[in-house]
Amino acid sequence: MNPFKFGTIVENEFFTDRKEESEILKQKLDSENHVILISPRRLGKSSLVQKVVSELNQPYIKIDLQYVMNVSDFAAQLLKSIFKLYPYEKIKYTMGHFRVVPTISTNAVTGAMDVSFQSGNNSAIMLEDAMEMLEKVATSKSRLIVILDEFQEVTKIQEGFDRQLRSIMQQQKGINYIMLGSQESLMEDIFEKKKSPFYHFGQMMRLSRIPRTDFSEYIMTRLPKIADNKAVSITNNILDFTKCHPYYTQQLAAHVWELVNYQEVTDNVVSLAIEQLIKMHDLDFERLWISMNRTDREILLQIATGENPLQNRQKPTSTSFSAIKRLMRDGYIINIDKYEIEDPFFMQWIINKNL
């Protein structure tokens, strides 16, 4: 079985290190404080939170705000998540206070509960009723953890939603909120600007790449035995390419493992894996490239070849900065120590096509 995993929540033996971050998060949740966790996409926020809440053995629910259409949809998703956590027959009496009664149905095959509200009703009342339900199922001995992923979307769901949500959350007891965000500038606007309803609402954490020494040990101990004499060089080649980005390191290591395990080990096995993965995604990368304007392409090419676009005199700095900000918002660029293309395979594809 391939010992490397990517693309989904990474748990158990697939989880890499994050011991320090895990302990810090546990300490923060050992109180009634809330946590704000920020990092670029695919650096492992969700996997870290999943690991910690599982170890704490506390009840939790999770909602991804990217998939919330409006306030009533958020209220419905809250209730649906609660019904997954607690048997409906045991908690239905807590819905006696609801001013707008939702429609609840059960899938005859899976037994899953579905929840919806009739359109046209007061969405503010729906939200208040659903949020009150959280407090009713939480206890002081077993605090409920509510994970709100991609929290920067809170300002886009519906006008005034962020203010109403904050006004309810700040009065609740027995609940820990964990708010995850992948767009640093937007999250900072939400939690650091005084005019924002969520100004200083929780304790902020930032997640970075996994240290190289920890990732090296993780990879080398999982490579097939046939690669023992080349394990160090293979591991270094993987991490040189991915720069210790958790998602892409697991992806490349998984493909290298398959090549090593089922084919003859060669000195260029990592290069071969990179080449094959780029070829697999060639059409996707081409579609992305075609969809971008010329300025965005120039910025990406400059970053891919090691240039700083803000020091390039061929374009006004304001134009380059606007493009960088747009590309960061869309997840193509990250800025940890410097501006980088988030996907190293896309970066190599750009270099291959343009040089």
With a cut of 60, say whether residue 318 has pLDDT above it: yes
C-alpha distances in Å from residue 343, one per residue of 9, 130, 198, 243, 300: 19, 39, 31, 10, 11
Lowest mean pLDDT among 87-91, 282-286, 295-299: 87-91
pLDDT confidence of 336, banded at 50, 70, 90?
confident
Which conformational region is residue 233 in: left (phi greater than 0), alpha (psi within -120 to 50 degrees), or beta?
alpha
Between 210 and 35, the higher pLDDT residue: 35
Q: How many CB atoms lie within 10 A of CB 245?
A: 25
Q: How many CB atoms lie within 10 A of CB 320?
A: 20
282-354, CATH topology level: Arc Repressor Mutant, subunit A (1.10.10)
Amino acid 179 reads M
With a cut of 80, say whether residue 108 has pLDDT above it: no
Between 105 and 165, the higher pLDDT residue: 165
Angstrom distance (rounded) from CA 321 to CA 115: 44
With a cut of 90, say whether residue 102 has pLDDT above it: no
Provide mean pLDDT across the span 302-330: 87
| CA-wise closest residue to 43 among 237, 214, 182 | 182
With a cut of 70, say whether residue 297 has pLDDT above it: yes
| CA-wise closest residue to 87 among 141, 129, 130, 137 | 137
- Degrees, nearest 5: CA angle 182-48-113: 85
With a cut of 70, say whether residue 17 has pLDDT above it: no
pLDDT confidence of 162, banded at 50, 70, 90?
very high
Instruction: Write down the pLDDT at residue 210.
Output: 82
pLDDT confidence of 13, banded at 50, 70, 90?
low
Angstrom distance (rounded) from CA 275 to CA 298: 23
Place of tokens 């293309």: 341
18-206: in CATH 3.40.50.300: yes
With a cut of 60, say whether residue 92 has pLDDT above it: yes
pTM of the model: 0.79
Dihedral angle at the C-alpha atoms of 114, 120, 123, 129, nearest 10 degrees? Answer: -60
Which residue ranges make up each domain of the chain?
A: 18-206, 212-280, 282-354
- Percent with pLDDT over 70 in the chain: 94
pLDDT confidence of 11, banded at 50, 70, 90?
low
Q: Cα 128 from chain centroid?
A: 27
Which range scores top for mean pLDDT: 5-14, 46-55, 83-92?
46-55
Lowest mean pLDDT among 68-77, 102-111, 125-134: 102-111
With a cut of 70, say whether residue 12 has pLDDT above it: no
With a cut of 90, say whether residue 165 has pLDDT above it: yes
Burial class (CB in 10 A: 0-12, 13-18, 19+), 252: buried
Contact (CB, 8 A) for 127 and 159: no
Amino acid 30 reads D
With a cut of 60, say whether residue 10 has pLDDT above it: no
At 298, list the tokens: 């120039």
User: What is the pLDDT of the chain when averaged over all its residues?
Assistant: 87
With a cut of 80, say whether residue 241 has pLDDT above it: yes
Angstrom distance (rounded) from CA 338 to CA 22: 26
- Residue-wise DSSP of 224-242: -GGGGGGHHHHHHHHHHHH
pLDDT confidence of 184, banded at 50, 70, 90?
confident
With a cut of 90, say whether residue 63 has pLDDT above it: yes
Angstrom distance (rounded) from CA 344 to CA 355: 16
Amino acid 249 reads T
